[in-house]
Amino acid sequence: MRAIRIHSNGGPEVMRWEDCELPPPRPGEVRIRHIAIAVNFSDINIRRGGFYIARPQQFPLIPGNEGAGVVAGVGAGVTDFRAGDRVAYVGTGGPFYEETGAYAEERNVPASCLVRLPEGISEAVAAAFLLKGLTAAMIITRVYTPKAGDTILIHAAASGVGLLLCQWSKYLGATVIGTVGSAEKAALAKANGCDHTIPYRDTDFVAAVQRIVPEGVSAVFDGVGKDTFIPSFDCVRRFGMLVNYGNASGHVPPVDLLLLAKKGSLSVSRPGFSSYTAGPGMFQKACGELFDLIRRGILRAEASGTYALLDAATAHRDIETRKVAGAVVLLA
Ligand SMILES: NC(=O)c1ccc[n+]([C@@H]2O[C@H](COP(=O)([O-])OP(=O)(O)OC[C@H]3O[C@@H](n4cnc5c(N)ncnc54)[C@H](OP(=O)(O)O)[C@@H]3O)[C@@H](O)[C@H]2O)c1
């Protein structure tokens, strides 16, 4: 089979389209023929040699850890799946950024990591939606649930996770303010539930938020990190909540707890989606709830950008230069 592999860390140019061997599935594993593969920001961090790598990377390495496709074969002991089933996965059991291997035509994954795709959910939608949807669900159902009367500030509102947070917060009755990197992204964020957009690359977003909501927002949902998190303390009302779920601009520096008291008795949360789906059957249950939100029209899931798998480097380049909005998917 063919796959995108990296032999060292670096820019998008280290990604090579190569022939490689895939052994037969081991006991308990399923072989998937990918149809659509998600591109997540953590894939870029892996390629760069990113900041959250806990153990040394082994090269050559196939990036990516989220995909959807068709079962091509099963290992001994697998009884829940058979050839031809439509399935998807998000990670393979350990930390999302370890044991990667999704940027490939085929892959073996543990059967316990798979969810069956219902009718009406295409492989491209699943790849565009699952991790981003689980992240939005974790924030909204476990960390801070927006309600009527709330104003929520969502950074990078036109990002993959950001668009879902906008849709869902709006559905729950909140007023939504989104920061965005371009006029096109502002239009997209508005079409997905943003009431106000702020072009934060060339505007002081803190002053802009204070003009819109002088008493401060109820919560901030921040996937940008280094450039936005600490300044956001001045956008939040007393007893408000700041949720940092990502680091597109880099890690958030350490926070002095006393600052939370000084800025109005604020709370801070840094959730990771794998806690949300930890435990047998939790991933499948959480995906079922997401599919239901799509069926009911509360969340709209689609890939904003699609690339051929062999063009994965172009997809990375477009994400890193902040050209694309929404979810990016590779088609195998
Ligand atoms: N906690 C979790 O479990 C979890 C799960 C999934 C994702 N994440 C993290 O959440 C973050 C957002 O994920 P996503 O899928 O929504 O990402 P995405 O679609 O790739 O969007 C990231 C956005 O961040 C903005 N951005 C700001 N500074 C940037 C920079 N220096 N380089 C590139 N982009 C920058 C850009 O929007 P503008 O052009 O509008 O500024 C960009 O479109 C990522 O850090 C990801 O790793 C965390």
pLDDT of 54 > 80? The answer is: no
Pocket of ligand 1 (CB under 6 A): 40-42, 131-132, 135, 156, 158-162, 180-181, 185, 223-224, 227, 245-249, 271-273, 319-320, 322
**Number of the ligand 1 atom closest to the C-alpha atom of 320:** 33
pLDDT band at 197 (very low <50, low <70, confident <90, very high): very high
Distance 19 CA to ligand 1 centre (A): 31
Distance 21 CA to ligand 1 centre (A): 33
Nearest C-alpha to atom 39 of ligand 1 is from which residue? 181
Average pLDDT over residues 194-219: 98
Q: How far apart (Å, rounded) are the C-alpha atoms in residues 31 and 71? A: 6
For the chain, domains (ranges, CATH) are: 2-129+274-331 (3.90.180.10), 148-270 (3.40.50.720)
Average pLDDT over residues 51-59: 79
Average pLDDT over residues 182-207: 97
**Number of the ligand 1 atom closest to the C-alpha atom of 162:** 16
Nearest C-alpha to atom 10 of ligand 1 is from which residue? 246
pLDDT of 47 > 80? The answer is: yes
Nearest C-alpha to atom 33 of ligand 1 is from which residue? 320
pLDDT of 307 > 90? The answer is: yes
Distance 250 CA to ligand 1 centre (A): 10
pLDDT at 304: 84
pLDDT band at 61 (very low <50, low <70, confident <90, very high): very high
pLDDT of 57 > 80? The answer is: yes
pLDDT of 251 > 70? The answer is: yes
Distance 90 CA to ligand 1 centre (A): 17
Distance 159 CA to ligand 1 centre (A): 6
Cα separation of the two ends of the chain: 11
Smallest Cα–Cα separation from 290: which of 195, 97, 161, 179? Answer: 161
Q: How far apart (Å, rounded) are the C-alpha atoms in residues 148 and 198? A: 22
pLDDT band at 55 (very low <50, low <70, confident <90, very high): confident
Nearest C-alpha to atom 43 of ligand 1 is from which residue? 159
Distance 107 CA to ligand 1 centre (A): 26
- For the stretch 214-218, contacts whose Cβ atoms lie closer than 8 Å and that sit 24 or more positions apart, written own/partner, are 216/240, 216/264, 217/150, 217/151, 217/152, 217/153, 217/177, 218/144, 218/146, 218/150, 218/151, 218/152, 218/174
Distance 239 CA to ligand 1 centre (A): 26
Give 88-127 pLDDT, tens digit per residue.
999 998 889 889 999 999 999 999 999 999 999 999 999 9
Please give the model's pTM, rounded to 2 decimal places.
Answer: 0.97
pLDDT at 303: 81
pLDDT of 81 > 90? The answer is: yes
pLDDT at 83: 97
Greatest CA separation for the chain = 62
**Number of the ligand 1 atom closest to the C-alpha atom of 161:** 16
**DSSP annotation string for 73-133:** EE-TT--S--TT-EEEEES-SS-TTSS---SBSEEEEEGGGEEEPPTT--HHHHHHHHHHH
pLDDT band at 157 (very low <50, low <70, confident <90, very high): very high
The chain-wide mean pLDDT, for the chain, equals 96
pLDDT of 52 > 70? The answer is: no
Q: Reduce the DSSP state of residue 41 to 3 states and report it.
A: helix
